[in-house]
Structure 1
Amino acid sequence: MERLHSRVLVQWAAGAFVTAVVLAAITGAIAYVDPLSLALSPVLVAGVVFGVAFVLGVGYAALRYRLWRYEVREDTLYIERGVFTRVRTVVPYVRVQHVDSQRGPIERLLGLGTVVVYTAGSRGADVSIPGLAAERATTLQERLRDLAIESEPTDAV
């Protein structure tokens, strides 16, 4: 089974940082507006909330990275993921409609990409594999596309 590139931890930690900043700003603003609710300084409240949220977010990202696995099998794509709820996904290539690769600004900065597999008959339940090295995302996209084409039923007349 293959793992994600370790640089995805930086991307997920950046997301935890942004979340921690937003939570700290909200709680700091609440503590500033309603100083009677807490006998603490709004800056102290915001700092504590930021620290707790950031540590929890980075811890969650580390666990998420540790548990994320995928495998390109003979006739299916197999994915294992999830920290609190473990999810195992099996995508038969015959169900694959098309395969995209995406690279957002932070992913481009880190040299990463995401492969998204769109399947027939799904409503927003498409499968994505984040945190791949950019060249790996491109080769995986091409390989999955080729496997999907090979698995198409042939029309015998």
Structure 2
Amino acid sequence: MERLHTRVLLQWSAGALVTAVVLAAVAGVVASLDPVPVPVSPLAVAGVAFGIVFVLGVAYAVLRYRSWRYEVRADTLYIERGVLTRVETVVPYVRVQHVDSQRGPLERLLGLGTVVVYTAGSRGADVSIPGVAAERATALQERLRDLAIESEPTDAV
């Protein structure tokens, strides 16, 4: 089973940082609008909110990283993930429509990518593997594409 690249922790922690800043700003504004005087300054409320949300966000990122695994098997792509709810996904290559590789600005900065596998079926039937090293993401995309092509049924005439 393969694990995600450790730099994905930086990416997910950056998301926790942004969330913490936004929620701290909201908490500070709400504390300053309080009609009843509180002996705590709005800045202190914002600081506490930031600290709690950021620490919880980083802890969640670590737990999320530890739970993520994937494996390219002979006839399926197998993915395990989930912190509170464990999810095991098995994608047969015969169901794969196409495979993309995505790299946002932060991912490019960190040298990471996300491989997205689109499957036949209902709307939103896609599976993503985040936090893959950029060169590994390209190789994984090509390998999954090749396995999907190999698994296509041949028409017997």
**Common topology (TM > 0.5):** yes
Q: Any gaps of 5 or more consecutive residues in structure 1? A: none
DSSP-derived class of the 1:97 partner: strand
Q: Any gaps of 5 or more consecutive residues in structure 2? A: none
- Alpha-carbon distance in 2 for matches of 1:101, 1:53: 31
Deviation string 1:43-94 (CA, Å, 9 cap, x unpaired) is: 0000000000000000000000001000000000000000001000000000
- Alpha-carbon distance in 2 for matches of 1:119, 1:16: 30
TM-score (normalizing by structure 2): 0.98
- What is the correspondence of 1:5-154 to structure 2 with a 5 Å cutoff? 5-34=5-34, 36=36, 38-154=38-154
DSSP-derived class of the 2:54 partner: helix
- Alpha-carbon distance in 2 for matches of 1:10, 1:92: 31
- Alpha-carbon distance in 1 for matches of 2:37, 2:61: 33
Contact 1:114/1:132 (8 A) holds in 2: yes
Amino acid at match of 1:92: P
Report how many aligned residue pairs link the two structures: 157
Q: Which residue of 2 is the match for residue 4 of structure 1?
A: 4
Deviation at 1:35, TM superposition (A): 5.1
Deviation at 1:33, TM superposition (A): 1.2
- Alpha-carbon distance in 2 for matches of 1:18, 1:79: 28
Deviation at 1:40, TM superposition (A): 1.2
- Alpha-carbon distance in 1 for matches of 2:146, 2:101: 15
DSSP-derived class of the 1:16 partner: helix
**Seq. identity, %:** 82
Most deviating of 30-39 and 117-126? 30-39
Deviation at 1:13, TM superposition (A): 0.3
